[in-house]
Chain A
Amino acid sequence: MSDTLEFAAPSLPSPASGGGKGGGSAAWGRTASALRVALGVVAFFLILELITSLGLVPAIYLPRASTVVERMAELMVDPKFLKQILATLEAWAVGLALATLISVPIGILIGTSEPAYKMSSPVIEFMRPIPSVALIPLAILLWGQGFSMKVILVAYAAAWPILFNTVYGVHDVDPIAVETARCFGLKRRSMLWRICLPSAAPLIFTGIRISASIGLIVVIGSELLASTDSGIGSYILFVSLNGGHMDSVLAGAAIAGIVGVLINWLLGLIDRRLFAWRYLGATAR
């Protein structure tokens, strides 16, 4: 049951540990970290520029990295494209919110009731692997090619990781904490609010983070594959069908990637703020 948890493990560079090297003060560490990130990005760009300038593939098929970056800059100041980003994010946000509102309560119900837990595990196990892309054709038939279709697909795909993590988080609370609470005479409802939920909250939030990434992929995917009328995905589709301007196609895909990175980073910040207590012991050695 640990795959979702492993996947969301934030990929932080570990703080300078022993082994002969001196660890500097915290501020220098942070600047050094930021510099390293910048250096990495620049290095990455340079490698790409080098590969794409070699002319292994004709430029119409694979333009130079600098051309793509130029196009990205153009798009980011183009109000029409910005509208597309907004449209994508709108559908994504609504779908994610819907999934959270449905999955968290159901997850709590299932997690706190042993028979319900036993019965629903196999069903969840079966439903999880259904790729939401497979449901795009069905969704088109039922809800057309607009906003509602996107929202429902995102909600469907995002519901499972959140449900999964909520059930697991609520069900597998530290038994010692539960025992201690019972010794203090806590009744069932307070037990829920004061012990289970706070303990499960980080896991639930991790589920939301995972669903956020999946949701973004699903919304852009559905825009592309269902040829909707708005969104980053529909832009990519439009450009590739009308003249195949590779620089625009790649620019669109790259911007989608950046949006994903930003969302993940933001959620990571919130995670560490809200649940700082979870990470305090982790870096101590």
Chain B
Amino acid sequence: MSPTEPSKAATSALLGALRSMAVRWGLGVGLVALWQVLAMRAGSIFFPPPTEIAKRAVELWLSGPPSRLFLSDGVFQDILPSLLRLLAGWSLAVACGIALGTAIGRSRRISELLDPSLQFLRAIPGPALVPVFILLLGTESTMRIALIAFGSIWPVLLNTIEGTRTVDPVQLDTAASFRLPRGALLWRIVLPAAMPKIFAGMRISLALAVILMVVSELVASTNGIGYRIQNAQIMFLLTDMWCGIVLLAVIGYTLNRLFLTIEDRALNWHRGARGRSAA
């Protein structure tokens, strides 16, 4: 390659990357800019301009000492506890959901027997159970983690049941013909085969867990992101409220992306196999 060619290739690669970034973020940035312009012109207190929101967010959360990465107290008082409760509740839901779901899914009779009851339990709106949980478990973190876990277990549980129930019969026959022992059947055939559905269930559970985390903090709580949003509403601090909403959007989006990356890796084979059969 002559000296000019590598730099030409680099330039066009750079342009390509910029173009795809523009496409990706263009609409979003455009909408935010529109909001900014409209807010500065019409000035409704309910929709403060994005610049105000950003400024307040920095004040609230990024004005701490350098030793703590500039994070302010608010982060440690509200954001961190919320996130920890979220993760604790969700992990509990995932662990129990996969374990129970596998046990139920192995037996067609049991899964058919339990199906209507599980559908019923899953349909109970999480918020409707808040009073129950408060009365049973008080108003501390235990109640919140329990609510998050109880509410978000259903997608994982039901998808795991579905996934372990619908293993390809040819794969089951193959395992039987090679006399694979029970443990091998479970760990090397049933669970890997059910992985795509289990992951899908986990992802929905995650979104549900975020919702329940907020719900659990809107009632009788003293800290947390939800609490702060509600507090801001009561005190009519609209910019603060919007900071909370944007923060939730960022958290939800980031968690989802993180999960997708992990799922991508783990389910590499599934995409390959599916692409093959579609071809």
Contact = CB atoms under 8 A, between A and B. Distances in A.
A2 B199 CA distance: 11
A184 interface: no
Given A11-B119, A17-B169, A130-B252, 18 more contacts: A7-B159, A13-B108, A13-B112, A14-B166, A36-B112, A37-B116, A44-B114, A61-B136, A119-B23, A122-B28, A123-B31, A129-B210, A134-B248, A141-B238, A224-B130, A244-B135, A253-B129, A257-B125
Interface string B44-87: 00100000000000000000000000000000000000000000
B136 A2 contact: no
9 contacts: A7-B159, A11-B119, A37-B116, A40-B112, A141-B238, A233-B127, A240-B131, A249-B131, A260-B124
B125 A217 contact: yes
B132 A130 contact: no
Interface string A137-162: 11011100000000000000000000
A32 B162 CA distance: 21
Nearest to B115: A11
Interface in B123-179: 123-132, 134-136, 155, 158-159, 161-162, 165-166, 169
Interface stretch (B3-11, B33-41, B184-192, B229-237): B229-237
Given A122-B25, A126-B28, A130-B252, A221 B125 contact: yes
Is the contact region of chain B dominated by helix, strand, or loop, or is it mixed? helix
B245 A130 contact: yes
Contacts of A216: 123, 125
Given A44-B114, A57-B136, A240-B135, A131 B119 contact: no
B112 to A, nearest CB: 4
B135 A133 contact: no
B123 A40 contact: no
Interface residues of A, number: 71
A257 B127 CA distance: 12
A225 B219 contact: yes
Contacts of B201: 6-7
A11 B158 contact: yes
A7 B127 contact: no
Say which size band chain B's interface belongs to: 35 or more
A135 to B, nearest CB: 7
Closest 4 CB pairs of A and B: A129-B252, A260-B123, A137-B233, A221-B127
Nearest to A140: B233
A122 B27 CA distance: 8
A14 B226 CA distance: 42
Contacts of A3: 200, 203-204
Nearest to A13: B112
B113 A40 contact: yes
A43 B28 CA distance: 52
Nearest to A224: B127
Given A6-B200, A122-B24, A130-B249, A253 B114 contact: no
Nearest to B263: A3
B123 A224 contact: no
A16 to B, nearest CB: 9
A126 B253 contact: yes
B124 A254 contact: yes
A250 interface: yes
Interface in A240-273: 240, 244, 246, 249-250, 252-254, 256-261, 264
Interface string B233-269: 1001010011011001100110110000000000000
Contacts of B219: 225
Nearest to B134: A240
A127 interface: yes
Interface in A60-98: 61-62
Which of B117, B159, B166, B232 has the most chain A CB within a 10 Å cutoff? B117
